[in-house]
Amino acid sequence: MILVTGGAGFIGSHTCVALAQAGIPFMVLDNFCNSRRSVLERVERITGAPVPFIEGDIRDTALLQRVFAEHAVEGVIHFAALKSVGESVREPLRYYDNNVAGTVALLGAMRAANVRTLVFSSSATVYGDPASVPIREDFPLSATNAYGWSKLMMEQVLADVDASEPGQWRIARLRYFNPVGAHASGLIGEDPQGLPNNLMPFVAQVAEGRREFLSVFGGDYPTQDGTGERDYIHVCDLAEGHLAALRYLRQHPGLLTVNLGTGQPTSVLEMVRGFEQASGRPVPYQIMPRRAGDVAACWADPSRAEQLLGWRAQHDIAAMCRDAWRWQDGVARQLHGQAAAQRV
């Protein structure tokens, strides 16, 4: 059985679907601090099977000990983390406690239970402002905010744990770029609580009419249309990347580090046009001044993941926009309506 921490979140829920469809038993551990319990009910509708889950926090060492004692856990996919850059600047201690201390607690419980296979949800944020693109795994690492530093620290903890017991651990650090899209069923997708942190849900909410316009930060970058370029990857491709990493670790002990991206840069305005085509709705935008800390262009060299894992992204921008709009125009709209009604 695979324990999926943060399995009710955006990437976690899609990975649970991929695990179920691959016939791999799993269990979710989530404290639902930034997700809804109903996500797991919708995962069940997709897969046709109930989702075993435990409500709890990865910092709760007694709970972790009980989970590993009572269930035959063979490995862990670790998503549980806070993930807002802006919030991390305002509340750094909360991020270091939840993300770093939580990972240390999880690793301690795993070692005590002799469970030594871990797929870790890292991020391209660990590359900071890259000197060049595309970005390879051997590029220098840095961070500009507490969220980024927490990911870097967690990566270092994993490297140190692996080095301390050579050949005993099987650890994959997956550095993803910009996850977008939604499951083709339209039943699960990105469901930000409050103001979205990422571009795609913001664009989707403008298309839906919930927000008046999209703020595009920076129109004078040295890119094809002056707006920032990013490597957007469909969340279902990302989910398959976790399964590919699990399969790799079964055969290879040690520490694996790979980028998960498409290797294709897409500008903000290209994404806006793609979403307008997918939704049939206008997405009005305004060019605003650049934001401090934003980089002009950031995209992956994913060749190492293809070479080692046999994994390659399959979905293009049109599919990402279609799937995101299906989710936004259906379940996401219903959830927002229910939340608004409860506030009245």
Catalytic residues: 147
- The closest alpha carbon to 30, from 50, 13, 47, belongs to 13
What one-letter code names the amino acid at 339? A
CA–CA distance, 48 with 41 (Å, rounded to integer): 10
Give CA separation, 247 vs 111, 156, 242, 310, in Å. Answer: 21, 23, 9, 10
CA–CA distance, 325 with 318 (Å, rounded to integer): 11
CA–CA distance, 13 with 224 (Å, rounded to integer): 35
Q: Specify whether the CB–CB gap between 309 and 228 falls below 8 A.
A: no
In sequence order, what E strands does the chain have? Answer: 2-5, 26-30, 53-55, 75-78, 117-123, 170-176, 178-180, 214-217, 229-230, 232-234, 254-260, 266-267, 285-288, 297-298
CB within 8 Å of 9: residues ≥ 6 apart: 30, 34, 35, 39, 79, 80
Provide the b/e sequence for 272-281 (b: ≥16 CB within 10 Å): bebbbebbee
User: How many helices, marked H, and strands, marked E, lie in the chain?
Assistant: 13, 14
8-state DSSP, 124:
G
**Residues facing 189 on adjacent strands:** 182
Q: Specify whether the CB–CB gap between 193 and 316 falls below 8 A.
A: no
